[in-house]
Amino acid sequence: MPESVSTQHQTNPFSTRHVRPGALPFFFREGESAQAVISRLRARSWWGAIIGPHGSGKSTLVAALLPEIQAAGRKPILHTFHDGIIHLPVLSRQALRLHSDVLLIIDGYEQLSAWQKFRVRCSCRKTGSGLVVTAHSSTGLPELYRTSMTPDLAERVFGQLTRNRPALANASELQDCLAARQGNLREALFDLYDMHERRRQSQEQESS
């Protein structure tokens, strides 16, 4: 999704600056919280996996957990691998900066080869580092949280994005995009970005 320096593009509620992990809050299921996830992680010796399909909020959840990880006395080191990136720059413990108070987080774990996953796990065990990964299916690590996208959750995200920003698209159109994108909220929001821009441009042409 492209960004623009123009005022019009800055006010598009679906632009990258508004929807990227950390800009949006993660909406937990009832009875869940960041503290509850960290409690499970601690009980599992700081090893675990966040599982869910494309665009269901895994990266957003990771961003929400970072302050809680630091508050729990662990130093989070985040590596994100998406869009065909399939290697860590260097797999040595030194390059990964692993030691006993580190929590290594790999967002996009399935992008690594079986050998790379093995190297990472061995390095974490040898140094006493924690390991949290995100993936689309089971990884062999204890499951911490399973993300999923529902119409109600998508509507909450839409409400958050448009709370103080006028949108040239509505929640019903988001649901249509979500269905077309097979539940991938990230891609559905990209579609709304394009929809908003087309309508904005059309309005400008009509008024000129």
pLDDT tens for residues 20-37? Answer: 988 999 999 999 999 999
Residue 9 pLDDT: 47
Choice among 136-140, 154-158, 201-205 with the minimum mean pLDDT: 201-205
In which band, very low, low, confident or very high, does the pLDDT at 206 lie, cut at 50, 70 and 90?
A: confident
For domain 34-83+91-146, the question of CATH label 3.20.20.140 is answered with no
Instruction: Look up residue 15 and give its two tokens.
Output: 């632009």
Q: Which segments of 128-184 does DSSP mark as H helices, in order?
A: 151-161, 171-180
Choice among 48-62, 77-91, 162-176 with the minimum mean pLDDT: 77-91
Averaged pLDDT of the chain: 88
Residue 140 CA neighbour count, 13 Å, CB half: 6
What is the rounded average pLDDT of the residues 186-192? 95
Record the pTM: 0.86
Compute the distance between CA of residue 145 and CA of residue 32 in angstroms, rounded to an integer: 9
Compute the distance between CA of residue 75 and CA of residue 102 in angstroms, rounded to an integer: 5
In which band, very low, low, confident or very high, does the pLDDT at 3 lie, cut at 50, 70 and 90?
A: very low
Specify the 3-state DSSP secondary structure of 77. Answer: strand
Q: Look at residues 24, 30, 42, 66 and name the one whose alpha carbon lies nearest to residue 144.
A: 42
Instruction: Look up residue 204 and give its two tokens.
Output: 């400008």
Compute the distance between CA of residue 28 and CA of residue 15 in angstroms, rounded to an integer: 23
pLDDT tens digits, 86-131: 555 555 555 567 889 999 999 999 888 888 899 899 999 999 999 9
Q: Examine the pLDDT at 4 and tell me if it is beyond 50.
A: no
Under DSSP, the state recorded for 76 is E
Helix axes 34-43, 58-71, angle to 10 degrees: 70
Specify the 3-state DSSP secondary structure of 31. Answer: coil
* In the chain, ranges of CATH 3.40.50.300 domains: 34-83+91-146
Compute the distance between CA of residue 28 and CA of residue 107 in angstroms, rounded to an integer: 19
User: What Å distances lie between residue 82 and 62, 79, 105, 160, 183, CA to CA?
Assistant: 15, 10, 14, 26, 18
pLDDT tens digits, 6-15: 444 458 999 9
